[in-house]
Structure 1
Amino acid sequence: MSNDEFRAALARLAAGVVLITAQEPPLDEDGRGEDVGMTATAFMSVSLDPPLVMVSLRNGSRMDDLLDEQPLWAVSVLAASQRHV
C-alpha cells in the first residue's frame, strides 16, 4: 500500500467504527481456527512511513489475548450503511 493510499483510507475515518478480525489457532491439526471479530472506535494512524495503525483493546479481553499470539489480523473501516455489523 502506498503512502497516498494509506492516507486516503485513513482520511475516510473521521470518528468511525472499525471491525477488527483475527483467527484463533485450530484446536487440533485437522481443524480450522475460529474467526473472532470485534468493533472498535479507538483506532488511529500512528505513522505513514511505514504505514502503522493503533487500536486500543481492553486488557485481558479475548481479542487482546488473541492478538498477543496471532501476528496476522485485519481492520475493516465500516461505512454508515454497515451499521448492522
Structure 2
Amino acid sequence: MPGSGTAHVATLRFALPRASLVVAHVIDSAGQTVHTLCEAELEPGEHVCSWDGRDGAGRPFPAGTYTLRLEAAHRVLCARVVTLR
C-alpha cells in the first residue's frame, strides 16, 4: 500500500448486542494465524477493529492475501485483504 504507512489496510465495523468476548486474528494464505488484533471482553455497542498491514512489533507483513477473522457473540465475520508493497 503506497504512502506513509499510516493508512489502514482494512477496517471491520461491528455491533455487539451484549458484552462479549471478541477475538480478531490475521490469517495468512496457508491458514496460519500470524497476528492477533484483539482478544478482549467488549461492552455492547458499535466497535471498530482495524489492521494496518503490520505485525505487533510494527513490521510490515509481506505482500499477499490475508483473512481478517473476527469472532464475537457466537458469530464469525471474515474479510479478505490483499497487501501490496
Q: Which has the higher strand share?
A: 2
| TM tier, smaller | 0.3 to 0.5
Q: Which has the higher helix share?
A: 1
TM-score, normalised via structure 2 length: 0.33
